[in-house]
Structure 1
Amino acid sequence: MTTNADERRVLDAVPTGLFIGGRWRPAENGATAKVEDPATGEVLTEVADASPADGMDALAAAHAAQPTIAAMAPRERSEILRRAYDLLHERIDDLALLMTLEMGKPFAEAKGEVVYASEFLRWFSEEAVRIDGGYQVAPNGQTRFLTIRQPVGVCVFVTPWNFPLAMGTRKIAPAVAAGCASVIKPAPQTPLTMLAFAQVLADAGLPDGALNVINATDAGAVMEPILRDGRARKMSFTGSTPVGKLLLSQASDKVMRSSLELGGNASFIVLDDADVDAAVEGAMIAKMRNMGEACTAANRFYVQRGVAEEFTAKLAERMGALKVGRGTEEGVNVGPLIDAKGLDKVTDLVADAVAAGASVAIGGRAQDGPGYFYPPTVLTDVPVNSRLNHEEIFGPVAPITVVDSADDALAAANATEFGLVNYVYTRDLNRALHIAENLESGMIGLNTGLVSNPAAPFGGVKESGLGREGGTVGIDEFLETKYVAIGYSG
């Protein structure tokens, strides 16, 4: 449990300016933006609010730093990332408290995110020294092929509010490992965590200008000129599908390499031969991680009729036992949603489902009082055509639809334009393989409710995105392959 003094100390220690070219500075027009505590609705602090001119300054700083970071020895880049990893662990309590204050997640869960975020630094510190190339004899024996992998160049990152540290390290770490300078725009709801992380990287020895952080409430006005300028060669975005499509269209103007991790509509399938207790445990992780505010969150529950009653009763019992409150309080499991807009969306989705015939097993009504709290909710008999089964909920709501067969579950799971992740619980290996191979998503959680891992490739298909982050392929997004033909006379 924290005190007001702890909170004030942590907030006062965070830089609140723009981080451009290795120094902190105000916005060129002096503009600031408020950062709110979603648990109380109170203003925590104000940060510099970048203008388009500030954005272009950040791009210029990254472009100037690009030759420096590209020329650094791989081991030197690796050691910067490793030092940053160590610093995150040294500062874990302050970073976690900062995240809880601006985003709302419980303090213990925020500490878990710091650990998760740090693993991208450690993983890519190891990948930095493993960037390879090749040498090959041409089929006719008269030429030699040399392949070189080089940094793609300046990168532009836009990150969401739900994982304000991990979504940054997942992009920044491979960029640094590959030798790319970058500009990052964090979400306006949660800029403080990224500002604190920028200081971590500076303290770890990252060259000036190799990372530039710009907070901007008018993201479109600031980001579009950067993407259309031509000096940046890579764009990576995590967020909603509509915004991702817009950024992709802007990046196409200069044929920028693009990575997109967009919306999800994950199904959670429980077949009649599943271990129900294990499925409930997995559902709690897949649904309630980050209060359900995750692109990987289980969005639609398709439960086979033979185990539907047992699964529903046990899930409702577990959900009902969770403690809702401010994330700094002792024993809290569920914090607030991010803002009034997020709360209104969840409220409307539940109301739509109930009006269409769904029943409320537990929860189902927003809490009164300050903050944006919504209780853990389980709905049953959810109509297939309800909005809950077609829109990303981003809240602690589990809508359950009963199905008669595994094929029915598979068909329902694939009936969406999204394809990020799906979860399946079954003890039959053949059924598991059949469903996993036929689900239209980039990731599958088979008898587990957690798929995210820095050592694994993260990403989706269809309108859930392009490219992969993490794993051995994660650094490929930041490297270009150059081919050198060498004449050979024998």
Structure 2
Amino acid sequence: MTYSDRKARLPGTLYIQGSWVHARSDLKFTVRDPATLDVFGECSDGDAIRAREASVAAASAFPAWSETPAEVRASFILQLAQLLERDAEFFRDLLVSESGKPRREAAGEVASSIAFLRWNAQQARHRLGRTLSSPQTDIQMWTVKRPLGVVAAITPWNYPLNTLCRKIAPSLATGCTLVVKPAPETPFSAVELLRRAEEVGFPPGVLNLVTTSRAAEAVQVWLDDPHVRKITFTGSTEVGKSLFRGSAKTMKRISLELGGHAPVLVFRDGDIEAAADAIVASRFRHAGQTCVCAQRVYVDEGVADELASSLTKRIKELRVSNGNDPNTDVGPLINEAAFARVTSHLVDALSKGARLRAGGSRVDLADPNRGFFFEPTLLEGAKPEMRVMQEETFGPLLTLSSFSTEEEAISEANSTSYGLVAYAFTNNLSRAHRLIEELNFGTVGINTTQIVWPQLPFGGFKDSGIGKENGLEGIDEYLNIKSAVLKISDAS
């Protein structure tokens, strides 16, 4: 079933100043279902002129929206959450067809998106500054928080709905207006969310959408536009660094959630079976195409065989199939380039001495499932010089290495250029606190791999990004903090 069969009846998929419009010259690009490789739908292919129109619309809407009472802004966001909840099954099925993820994972993405909208709506009412103590009785000091202005939100294909809600919710809550550019692989989640925003009745220009296959062209417009005061991007480290350089010209605020290479440290005092469950669930979620998934497992040599056996058993039980099959555990890779990257990392590791414990091959399914399916794979004996140990694979490939001391484990975990998320399994409370202090990552999960929550700040160190999303710290990324000093004169 195509996107058009499901719902779309739009003049175009660009949403600017409260209207749906075509791209100029009616240019379009195609979107394919990763499981079947069939054309799922067509999107309007926006250009620099449409991108400019979108940022102009957002800038014109900003003064009124920024002065809209917080209760009213919160009501708009809550209504959007209600419509997303009303249409949860539609969005679930859309995510399966766009991104290839299994149905239960898609359902989870919808649920988490609703949670992010609702939490940020609550925070819209609490944009508080601080009253500060003064060294003089005739001086009062306080801070005031004001919205930045126009925000450009650039979202990835792997979690197209969740990442969009994580960006638009705090923007809208704080009084910012937006231009949005979704990934060309998965644009329809954004299109449909904006349709719900239109149904809610957001004022024209508050939310604007540019679908395009020419990302650099559109984004350059926003980098150059002084009215765009913030860039928020989730995606690759390479693109993030380019945006960081480009934002300097107009001194924009920038938030970058970039690549990850998450280590998992499993100690002999930890729960080995629980660790195996969590590692497999994390690594093979969305076929390993997540920035927070476990990639490198380091296990105490005293329990290495036990963990290897537990992981192997669970991995071999995973079902690879079309995400529309309710029994699917692992869906397809997004495209051929993703398949090539996984294959090259595997070949490199095997050539340098890694041993294959499970998987390692493409999965050929019956028609119409012609996509790039790959077996969940476990490699033993991984070494630091292997590409899979230094580069983000973004696929269903897991490595297993052993360590003899805690210090060695921490050193290996910190040895890449990434610093997004790390995990550890231990029942030693003192060790847990040491790991939290010494692992150089933005988030550390102890005895769990569930680490993304609306109220918890999230963001990476080193090549994994700048700034925070989520939590009060994430909201502050969309605010300017103004300091005020008042001298009180004696009444005359």
User: 3-state SS of the aligned residue for 2:284?
Assistant: helix
For residues 137-152 of structure 1, the aligned pairs below 5 Å read: 138-152=134-148
Letter in 1 for 2:116: F
* Residue among 39, 50, 67 paired with 2:35: 39
CA RMSD of aligned residues (A): 1.4
User: 3-state SS of the aligned residue for 1:458?
Assistant: coil
Letter in 1 for 2:143: T
TM-fit CA distance, 1:359:
1.0
Letter in 1 for 2:69: A
Native 8 Å contact 2:4 2:41 kept in 1: no
TM-fit CA distance, 1:416:
1.1
Letter in 2 for 1:282: A
Q: Deviations over 1:219-250 (max 9, x none)?
A: 11111121112011111110011100101111
Q: Which residue of 2 aligns with 1:344?
A: 340
TM-fit CA distance, 1:432:
1.3
Q: Matched residues in 2 for 1:264 and 1:247: separation?
A: 18
Q: Does 1:331 align with 2:350?
A: no
Q: Which residue of 1 aligns with 2:314?
A: 318
TM-fit CA distance, 1:8:
5.9
Q: Matched residues in 2 for 1:445 and 1:10: separation?
A: 39
TM-fit CA distance, 1:338:
0.7
Q: Can you give the 5+ residue segments of structure 2 that lack an aligned partner in the other structure? A: none
Native 8 Å contact 2:12 2:23 kept in 1: no
Q: Which residue of 2 aligns with 1:128?
A: 124
Distance 1:126 1:29, change over 3 A: same
Q: Which residue of 2 aligns with 1:458?
A: 458
* Residue among 260, 279, 282 paired with 1:286: 282
Q: Matched residues in 2 for 1:14 and 1:371: separation?
A: 29
Q: Does 1:197 align with 2:193?
A: yes
Q: Matched residues in 1 for 2:362 and 2:91: separation?
A: 29
Q: Which residue of 1 aligns with 2:154?
A: 158
TM-fit CA distance, 1:100:
0.4
Native 8 Å contact 2:93 2:103 kept in 1: yes
| Bigger mean CA deviation after superposition, 8-17 or 366-375 | 8-17
Q: Deviations over 1:280-317 (max 9, x none)?
A: 11112221222211110111111111111111111111
Q: Which residue of 1 aligns with 2:476?
A: 476
Between the two proteins, what is the percent identity of the paired residues? 36
Q: Deviations over 1:193-234 (max 9, x none)?
A: 011011112222221111111112111111112111201111
Native 8 Å contact 1:11 1:98 kept in 2: no
Native 8 Å contact 1:14 1:192 kept in 2: no
Q: Does 1:401 align with 2:397?
A: no
Native 8 Å contact 2:31 2:42 kept in 1: yes
Q: Matched residues in 2 for 1:16 and 1:309: separation?
A: 56
Q: Which residue of 1 aligns with 2:50?
A: 54
* Residue among 298, 302, 308 paired with 2:304: 308
Q: Does 1:219 align with 2:221?
A: no
Letter in 1 for 2:62: Q
User: 3-state SS of the aligned residue for 1:29?
Assistant: helix
TM-fit CA distance, 1:28:
1.5
Q: Deviations over 1:64-83 (max 9, x none)?
A: 11112101110001011111
The normalised TM-score by structure 2 is 0.96
* Residue among 85, 90, 93 paired with 1:89: 85
Letter in 1 for 2:76: I
Native 8 Å contact 1:29 1:51 kept in 2: no
Q: Which residue of 2 aligns with 1:410?
A: 410
Q: Matched residues in 1 for 2:45 and 2:51: separation?
A: 10
Q: Matched residues in 2 for 1:216 and 1:235: separation?
A: 17
Native 8 Å contact 2:152 2:180 kept in 1: yes
Q: Matched residues in 2 for 1:206 and 1:121: separation?
A: 15
Q: Which residue of 2 aligns with 1:447?
A: 447
TM-fit CA distance, 1:470:
0.7
Native 8 Å contact 2:123 2:173 kept in 1: yes
The normalised TM-score by structure 1 is 0.97
